[in-house]
Amino acid sequence: MTADQAGDLDCLEFDGEAFDPTRWLYSAPPEAPRQVSAEGGGRLFSPPPEALRQVSVEGGGRLFSPPPEALRQVSATALVGEVRAVVVAAHRSALRAQANLQSAMIAAFGATGQASQASHAGQAGQAGQADPATGHVEIPPVAPGPAVTQPVTVGRFEIVDGQPFAVAHGAHRVVAGEPVTAEAAFKPLARSDRTQLAGADLARLVEGSIAGVFGAAYDQDGANPSIRLAPAGDPLLSRVDDIALRGGAWGRGELRATLRPDVAARAGSAPAAARAVLLAEATAQAAQVFAMYLGLHLCLADATFVRGRPDGRGEPDRCRVDLEEDAGTSAEHEIVLAVTAVDLVPRPWLSVDAEIRAGGEVVARLWDVTLGIREKPGAPVGPGVGGIVPVFLGRKNRFGERMMLNELHMAHCSKGDQDVALGPEFARYRDTRATRLPDGGLRLVDRIVTVDGERGNPRPGSSHETEYDSPADAWYYQESANASMPNCVYMETSLQSALILGYYLGATLPALEGDHSLRNLGGTATLLREVELRDTTLRQHSTLLSTTPMPGSVLQDFGYLFSVDGEPVYKGESMFGYFSAAALARQSGLDAGRLVPTWLEQQERRPAVRTINIAGRRADRSAPLCSQGYLALLDDVDVVDDGGRYGRGYLRAVRAIDPADWFFERHFFRDPVIPGSLGVEAVITAMQEWVVDGGHADGLVRPGFVLPVGLPMTWKYRGQILPTDAATTLEVHIKAVERKPGRIRVIADASVWKPTMRIYELTDIAVELREEGALPW
């Protein structure tokens, strides 16, 4: 740089080292960013010295430049003159000078940015398709929008704890993901029929009146006074135009909101870094609305919104913002956000991607805006010593009753910290294989209402009540051949309620220090009345009948009854065992360790066998009375007409075991095993297919399968099916086919094998097919 040029800068009252503006025209390797401060708290990533000499302008700051191949011939003197003119004319702060310099730099390589985007589009193909070289994809648009020309990216920022950092130009890419399935979908803690919110509604959310907007299900008796929209007091939204629980690119939820006009004007005129921060904050406020809509706050009593995941590790909150050419300050700005993740562990949180649209054109894209809810310091979250819950933890049920433990605690009992779920005594199991509730769509206990019993004293007669909300959009209603709830859910929700009672009372604490497993060993259950269970709350009452400690294990018997709206629906008794690894390894099946062959294999002369092609029926989505999706447990069934133990029909099916089968991830955390209830459901599937194949549905008007009322079903389990098992085999012996007007009932006995032994025995397992409106059996 010449002395004259240095003097020109001095006359502008720059406080710092003179710089060579031609250095702007060489890019910095993005893999070596450095952090530097700017006046007003902003920061930018700067290139290493070998790529760009340190430049000090008033207030500091460094800039990125385009790659050499995109070099534009720019006069150094002219560029300095331009800088001088800007600074002299404005006499702005260093931050404003920095923004002007950055804008000039970006203009120099705007064409290069377009070329880079076009190049990346050619590499990755259509949105959502994997790049063969990397296995990554460009994230799909949040939602379909009007056809627009390709926008020009004018700024890219990473916002860390509210501070903007400029990042090198390049396409934002994410690991390919799949839309969420119905089974894996997050179940809201409360539901509202509100899908649009006016300005007055948002004002009430700013005041903290969440129940006043979304309904009584969101009431917390004055708990959580700090959970409110824009708790800092600067609401940025003017209205919410739509809320879709299962919308968005990922199927986890979508919200469309509109910025206040003055906020849109600020966004349109602000420097790039300030604009990125403002839009990120507006998106976070839209995420706050969606979090309230899901009821994420309902499982805590005194909490606040926090940015980022509330994991307690102090990691910074990060999101990415790409700014495009703005449509102008007068255009209405719309936020369209799609939820990408939502969970309750370690505390409630959700993450969203979003687009900001002005005049129908995308003016910004945001990724990984994450919002959490965390208790205030010192506020109780779960039980204390002995399982005592000294204060109200914030959760009420649909009837307005205060709950003892809630969805947060059940989630931690599935996959989190058991001390959070049940009390500090269970901290010993944090990093071990221990008793767990199932997870995801197989977790069928939501809340503990009350407990009558003392930890450490599992006396007979101890009891508790739990609740499970069964929404109409639950995966099992969609995928079952049943007209209502399938048998496996009746079984699981009752058994899970019972097991959590024994575990809460401390059955394992004196006997099992390290790794152990919980297994159901058998029971008997009876349906008391036929009732539609969609959109109901199942109230389970479980009673401990006995506890028997044994070397390396503890056995417990329970009785249970579940009711809906005070009317009993389903009752039973069941035994559970808690086993050390050594005790579990000694399982010998139902036949003293011998491999007993199936009935078909025992026949000296193989009888005629025909096959029901279940997979073929299932492929025809219009085929009636056929389980789908996660309840597609069999592909075919072999039938011996007039065969079996009773001469009325024999069914046999084999199912290959894939370690990637969905239920291993759900049942249980660190201890994968096929749920016994799904083994029973596979037997029911075989029987239902036999009924349809035999023409028993013919002549029935709108027929549907239901659980038979008044017929006890008994099961006995003496083994487990693991991901390492090659296959499981079942057989069914039909022993009765009964008919009444508009109904047919089939009763059978059945067994299930793993490769080395017979492990399940079912007595009086039954299916019933009835036409709509038929009188009860």
Average pLDDT of the segment spanning 592-619: 96
Please report the pLDDT score of residue 626 as a whole number: 96
Q: How far apart are CA 409 and CA 308, in angstroms?
A: 21
End-to-end CA distance of the chain: 98
Q: How many residues does the chain have?
A: 777
The tens digit of pLDDT for each residue in 548-558 reads 999 999 999 99
599-771: same fold as 156-167+170-375?
A: yes
The tens digit of pLDDT for each residue in 375-409 reads 999 999 999 999 999 899 999 999 999 999 999 99
The tens digit of pLDDT for each residue in 312-357 reads 788 899 999 999 876 566 789 999 999 999 999 999 999 999 999 9
Task: Classify 156-167+170-375 by CATH class.
Answer: alpha beta
Contact 491, 410 (CB under 8 A): no
The tens digit of pLDDT for each residue in 236-275 reads 999 999 999 999 999 999 999 999 999 999 988 899 999 9
Q: How far apart are CA 636 and CA 650, in angstroms?
A: 14
Confidence band for 672, pLDDT divided at 50, 70 and 90: very high
Please report the pLDDT score of residue 185 as a whole number: 96
**Phi, psi at 363, each rounded to 5°:** -115, -10
- Answer yes or no: is pLDDT of 777 > 70: yes
Q: How far apart are CA 393 and CA 383, in angstroms?
A: 9
Contact 506, 556 (CB under 8 A): no
**Fold of the domain spanning 385-585:** Thiol Ester Dehydrase; Chain A (3.10.129)
Which of 651, 726, 655, 727 minimizes the C-alpha distance to 691? 651
Q: How far apart are CA 534 and CA 494, in angstroms?
A: 17
Distance from the Cα of residue 720 to its chain's centroid: 28
Please report the pLDDT score of residue 770 as a whole number: 97
Q: How far apart are CA 404 and CA 447, in angstroms?
A: 8
Contact 468, 458 (CB under 8 A): no
Catalogue the long-range contacts made by 726-729 (C-beta closer than 8 Å, 24 or more residues apart).
726/656, 726/657, 726/755, 727/654, 727/655, 727/656, 727/657, 727/755, 728/654, 728/655, 728/657, 728/674, 728/679, 728/682, 728/752, 728/753, 728/754, 729/598, 729/652, 729/653, 729/654, 729/655, 729/753
Average pLDDT of the segment spanning 712-738: 97
Catalytic residue chosen out of the listed positions 333, 409, 541, 667:
667
Average pLDDT of the segment spanning 41-54: 35
Contact 404, 148 (CB under 8 A): no
Confidence band for 311, pLDDT divided at 50, 70 and 90: confident
Per-residue burial over 299-313, b if 16 or more Cβ lie within 10 Å, else e, is: bbbbbbbebbbbeee
- Answer yes or no: is pLDDT of 610 > 90: yes
Please report the pLDDT score of residue 171 as a whole number: 52
Side-chain-side CA neighbours of 133 within 13 Å: the count stands at 5
Facing residues of 366 across strands?
A: 321, 354
Helices (H), 622-669: 662-666
- Answer yes or no: is pLDDT of 723 > 60: yes
Q: How far apart are CA 519 and CA 509, in angstroms?
A: 17
- Answer yes or no: is pLDDT of 127 > 50: no
Tokens matching residue 660: 């990637």
- Answer yes or no: is pLDDT of 138 > 90: no
C-beta atoms surrounding 148 within 10 Å: 13
The tens digit of pLDDT for each residue in 158-213 reads 999 999 999 985 555 454 467 899 999 999 999 999 999 999 999 999 999 999 99
Strands (E), 57-140: 136-137
- Answer yes or no: is pLDDT of 92 > 80: no
- Answer yes or no: is pLDDT of 66 > 60: no
Locus of tokens 């959490």: 372
- Answer yes or no: is pLDDT of 27 > 70: no
The DSSP line for 228-259 is -SSTTS---EEEEEEEETT-STTSS-EEEEEE
136 is catalytic: no
More confident residue, 117 or 491: 491
User: What is the residue-averaged pLDDT of the chain?
Assistant: 84
Side-chain-side CA neighbours of 231 within 13 Å: the count stands at 14
Contact 345, 410 (CB under 8 A): no
Contact 227, 375 (CB under 8 A): no
Q: How far apart are CA 676 and CA 635, in angstroms?
A: 19
Please report the pLDDT score of residue 152 as a whole number: 57
Distance from the Cα of residue 735 to its chain's centroid: 43
User: Which residues lie closer than 8 Å to 230 by C-beta, 6 or more apart?
Assistant: 206, 236, 285, 288
Contact 691, 640 (CB under 8 A): no
Please report the pLDDT score of residue 328 as a whole number: 61
Please tell me the chain's helix, strand, coil percentages from 3-state DSSP, rounded to the nearest 5.
25, 30, 45
Q: Are strands 610-613 and 713-717 parallel, antiparallel or unpaired?
A: unpaired
Q: How far apart are CA 438 and CA 540, in angstroms?
A: 17
Please report the pLDDT score of residue 702 as a whole number: 94
Please report the pLDDT score of residue 314 as a whole number: 80
Q: How far apart are CA 217 and CA 271, in angstroms?
A: 43
Average pLDDT of the segment spanning 277-292: 97
Please report the pLDDT score of residue 623 as a whole number: 87
Q: How far apart are CA 277 and CA 164, in angstroms?
A: 7
- State the burial class of residue 155 (Cβ atoms within 10 Å of its Cβ: 0-12, 13-18, 19+): buried
Q: Are strands 650-656 and 636-640 parallel, antiparallel or unpaired?
A: antiparallel
At 102 the three-state DSSP class reads helix
Facing residues of 706 across strands?
A: 768
- Answer yes or no: is pLDDT of 751 > 50: yes
Domain boundaries in the chain?
3-108, 156-167+170-375, 385-585, 599-771
Please report the pLDDT score of residue 511 as a whole number: 83
Tokens matching residue 114: 């377009």
More confident residue, 140 or 154: 154
Q: How far apart are CA 600 and CA 596, in angstroms?
A: 12
Please report the pLDDT score of residue 603 as a whole number: 97
Q: How far apart are CA 625 and CA 700, in angstroms?
A: 12
Average pLDDT of the segment spanning 141-158: 57
Tell me the percentage of the chain whose pLDDT exceeds 90: 73
Please report the pLDDT score of residue 331 as a whole number: 83
- Answer yes or no: is pLDDT of 358 > 70: yes
Average pLDDT of the segment spanning 125-152: 38
- Answer yes or no: is pLDDT of 513 > 90: no
Which of 714, 693, 707 minimizes the C-alpha distance to 743? 707
Q: How far apart are CA 729 and CA 637, in angstroms?
A: 11
**Fold of the domain spanning 599-771:** Thiol Ester Dehydrase; Chain A (3.10.129)
